[in-house]
Amino acid sequence: MGIDREAWADGLFGPREDLRDGLLDDVPDEPLDVVVSLTELLGTAGELVGRYSTPQLADGLWYLAADSGLFRQLYNPAVPEDPRAECAAAIRELHKRLFEPLCENALSHGDHGAAVKERLNSICYMWWDVFPTWGSPNDPAARGVDEVLLNVMRGTLSSENVACVESGLHGLGHWHTSYPDLVESTIDAFLRERPEIGVALRDYAHAARRGRVL
């Protein structure tokens, strides 16, 4: 079964002296339960708005994506593919319900980040950078989840918030190593469909198309 979602959210985003205190105490032991719990948390990301400050959300999401190790269960073959794919798809809700409405409508790569005041922008930009995979095309157990994650990145490219668009391009740039043809065709389509984007974002898209992102 899943965890107490509200208690877990408090452990992840609530005030504490050490970011790690309390979070892992309530994580289920079974890999399937971890995946289900992550899906519940991500799928209800909109409920976190107003309940926690954006710095709290930023700190918790940094820990969740980069340090907790929980997303590695997306590639655990002991967990059926359907719940793993559902969990991967729920990351889109995080972008739609938290990053799109709360992030500053600004770019973060290169020198742009110095002017960004909203701390949530940092994890929005770096989400796919610190996420525990950049694709595993040679692993049969991973291909379905890879496809879903790539679709999530593709979906962010339609956002009106350039921070979210940049996040998707950043992720695709890293995944170019694993799926070069798909990444290039995805970014080509984005450039055709959104001719109104500014020069800085267009240049970043071209860099991501070649896998040259930081």
* Structural domain boundaries, residue 151: 5-209
Those residues whose C-beta lies under 8 Å from the C-beta of residue 49, and which sit 6 or more positions away, are 97, 98, 101, 102
CA 46/CA 55 separation, integer angstroms: 16
Find out whether 87 and 77 touch, Cβ atoms under 8 Å.
no
Question: How many other CB atoms are found less than 10 A from the CB of residue 154?
Answer: 19
Find out whether 3 and 37 touch, Cβ atoms under 8 Å.
yes
Of 18-32, 103-117, 162-176, give the lowest mean pLDDT range.
18-32
Domain count, the chain: 1
- Please, what is the angle between helix 54-62 and helix 5-13, to 10°? 100
CA 128/CA 173 separation, integer angstroms: 10
pLDDT tens-digit map of 133-153? 999 999 888 999 999 999 999
Find out whether 70 and 33 touch, Cβ atoms under 8 Å.
no
In a domain, 51, yes or no: yes
Give the predicted TM-score (pTM) of the model. Answer: 0.93
pLDDT tens-digit map of 98-117? 999 999 999 999 999 899 99
In a domain, 214, yes or no: no
Please provide residue 5's backbone torsions phi and psi, each rounded to the nearest 5 degrees. -60, -40
